[in-house]
């Protein structure tokens, strides 16, 4: 919708007068300076944050984009491994109003995608405020304004600032913080342990026996990168070929969903996958009871799109192991009773949103836990905009709320 930017109402004039005290985030801390923002505040300079800012700019609306890191798209630039490429065709990944260059392949590389995002920001004149971490954001119902408190990366109190605006867009995504699993003895492992957010390439592990724990798309690709160095992934997920019937699997699934219910589409995908990949259970790859799309819808878990890892598993270059029972020294004991020694462990256990830690609105934790299939980002972007206009959707428990409607139309996440 178009946002009519206007000056704050008289009742919302920023003041510290004793007659109109303002409730702030973390009242016990020294109060930072207040800055009025004429347009919306966008938290996050990743793809969604850039897209939101660009669409606003196209309507003649300037926004303030806050980013805690020192660059745009920090997940892509700072935390992704070198060999990464998009797992979906580029047409499903381009941002509004600006297509990928025609010279790009169907599945752009990490470097190409980052270059595209930088060109996107330049085209729309988006200049995020880097090294600004949002520590608290809340809606002041008395003033009908959003209050967003930030701190510089240094953490010095004199660098804290509180921004005030009528609108807030949360675009920090669902991959803000690394998820570290609880494994008995992991802290005492005598080899190296890293999360995939710190993994760049397999060259560091040449000649080493490596255990990859948790294999989604990242884990499978890391295994492929490590296959010449004896990687041992533990896999209990859906695997689909990246292309089916001459079409990208994602494109085929989206087309089928226009005509068929999700459980029927799942059956079709699994039948074609079995015809192409064969029976993966003989390699220790057990399929969950739910189909890949339904699993994504209900739990947020993304199905694996195979790019060559399965062939390495079939050849024995990558070995599959069951769940870990415990770790002792460099020995890893599995639930099937087997025990093996490893030089390093790579945790491909994913990420989680940090939004509940700083967004102080009713039911935000409940939303992030109850509706994982929506993707935390898409839920909160819409919810925050709605609440700035009318907080009632967050408070009402009657009838079909906005979040229920969103859930019906979102199957594959963002």
The mean pLDDT value for 357-369 works out to 66
The pair of three-digit structure tokens given for residue 347, joined into one six-digit string: 């945790």
Task: Indicate whether 28 belongs to any domain.
Answer: no
Mark whether 116 and 170 lie in a shared domain: yes
Nearest Cα to 278, choosing from 251, 239, 252? 239
Strands of 13-77, DSSP E: 34-36, 41-43, 64-66
112 and 82 co-located in one domain: yes
Which residue among 335, 351, 367 closes a domain?
Answer: 351
Please check whether residue 230 lies inside any domain of the structure. Answer: yes
Name the nearest CA neighbour of 389 among 57, 220, 139: 139
Q: Which residue is it, tokens 């806050």?
A: 66
Tell me if 202 is assigned to some domain: yes
Same domain, 278 and 219: yes
Are residue 295 and residue 363 in the same domain, yes or no? no
**Residue 255, both tokens:** 């087309």
- Count structural domains, the chain: 2
Same domain, 237 and 220: yes
Q: Is residue 29 part of a domain?
A: no
* Domain end marker among 328, 351, 374: 351
- One domain, residues 238 and 155: no
Half-sphere exposure of 220 (CA within 13 A, CB side): 25
Residue 142 lies in a domain: yes
Instruction: Choose the weakest-confidence range: 6-20, 104-118, 150-164.
Output: 6-20
Confidence at 76, pLDDT banded by 50, 70, 90:
very high
Q: Based on the domain organization, do 206 and 250 belong to the same domain?
A: yes
Phi then psi dihedrals of residue 395, to 5 deg: -100, -30
* Distance of alpha carbon 226 from alpha carbon 224, whole angstroms: 5
Same domain, 137 and 107: yes
Determine the pLDDT at residue 404.
28
For residue 28 the two structure tokens come to 């016990």
CATH number at residue 294: 3.50.50.60
Tokens of 301: 């878990």
Q: How confident is the model at residue 101 (pLDDT cuts 50, 70, 90)?
A: very high
Do residues 90 and 49 share a domain?
yes
pLDDT at residue 297, rounded to an integer? 67
Sheet of 161-165, strands arranged across: 34-36, 161-165, 145-152, 132-140, 359-360
Which of 14-23, 98-107, 145-154, 251-260 is predicted with the least confidence, judged by mean pLDDT? 14-23
DSSP letter string, 366-414 = HHHHH-GGG-HHHHHHHHHHHHHH-SHHHH--SS--HHHHHHHH-SS--
pLDDT exceeds 80 at position 363? no
For residue 140, list its beta bridge partners: 145
Q: How many beta carbons lie within 10 A of that of residue 336, not counting itself?
A: 10
Which segment of 135-149, 164-178, 344-358, 399-413 scores lowest on mean pLDDT? 399-413
In-domain check, residue 84: yes
Task: Decide if 380 is inside a domain.
Answer: yes
pTM of the model: 0.72
Average pLDDT, the chain: 75
Say whether both 220 and 305 belong to one domain.
yes
pLDDT band at residue 308 using 50, 70 and 90 as cut-offs: confident
Q: What is the pLDDT of residue 401?
A: 29
Residue 176 confidence (pLDDT): 85
Reported confidence tier of residue 412, pLDDT bands at 50, 70, 90: very low
The residue range of the domain holding 48 is 34-175+353-387
Spatial contact of 309 and 318, defined as CB atoms under 8 Å apart:
yes
- Asked if 320 and 242 sit in the same domain, the reply is yes
Residue 9 maps to a domain: no
pLDDT at 196 over 80: yes
Residues 299 and 320 in one domain: yes
pLDDT at res. 220: 83
Task: Tell me whether strands 192-195 and 239-241 are parallel, antiparallel or unpaired.
Answer: unpaired
């Amino acid at each position: 919708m178009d946002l009519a930017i206007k000056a704050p109402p008289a009742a919302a004039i920023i003041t510290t007068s004793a007659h109109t005290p303002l409730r702030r985030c973390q009242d016990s801390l020294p109060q930072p300076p207040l800055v009025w923002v004429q347009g919306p505040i966008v938290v996050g300079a990743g793809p969604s944050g850039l897209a939101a800012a660009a669409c606003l700019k196209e309507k003649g609306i300037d926004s303030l984009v806050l980013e805690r890191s020192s660059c745009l798209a920090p997940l892509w630039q700072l935390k992704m491994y070198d060999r990464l490429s998009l797992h979906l065709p580029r047409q499903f990944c381009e941002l509004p109003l600006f297509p990928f260059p025609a010279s790009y392949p169907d599945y752009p590389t990490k470097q190409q995608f980052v270059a595209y995002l930088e060109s996107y920001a330049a085209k729309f004149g988006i200049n995020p405020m880097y090294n600004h971490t949002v520590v608290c954001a809340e809606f002041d119902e008395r003033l009908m304004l959003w209050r967003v408190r930030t701190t510089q990366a240094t953490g010095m109190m004199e660098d804290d600032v509180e921004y005030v605006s009528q609108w807030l867009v949360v675009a920090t995504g669902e991959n803000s913080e690394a998820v570290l699993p609880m494994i008995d003895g992991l802290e005492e492992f005598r080899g190296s342990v890293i999360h995939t957010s710190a993994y760049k390439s397999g060259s560091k592990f040449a000649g080493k026996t490596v255990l990859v724990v948790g294999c989604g798309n990242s884990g499978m690709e890391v295994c492929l990168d490590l296959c010449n160095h004896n990687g041992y992934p533990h896999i209990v997920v859906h695997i689909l070929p990246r292309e089916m019937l001459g079409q990208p699997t994602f494109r085929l699934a989206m087309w089928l969903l226009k005509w068929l219910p999700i459980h029927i589409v799942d059956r079709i995908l699994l039948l074609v996958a079995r015809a192409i990949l064969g029976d993966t259970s003989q390699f220790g790859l057990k399929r969950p009871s739910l189909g890949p799309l339904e699993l994504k819808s209900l739990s947020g878990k993304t199905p694996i799109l195979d790019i060559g890892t399965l062939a390495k598993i079939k050849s024995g270059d990558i070995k599959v192991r069951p769940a870990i029972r415990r770790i002792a020294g460099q020995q890893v004991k599995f639930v099937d009773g087997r025990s093996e020694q490893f030089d390093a462990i790579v945790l491909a256990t994913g990420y989680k949103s940090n939004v509940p830690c700083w967004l102080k609105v009713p039911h935000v934790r409940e939303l992030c836990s109850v509706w994982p299939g929506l993707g935390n980002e898409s839920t909160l972007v819409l919810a925050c905009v709605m609440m700035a206009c009318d907080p009632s959707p967050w408070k009402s428990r009657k009838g079909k709320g906005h979040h229920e409607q969103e859930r019906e139309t979102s199957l594959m996440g963002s």
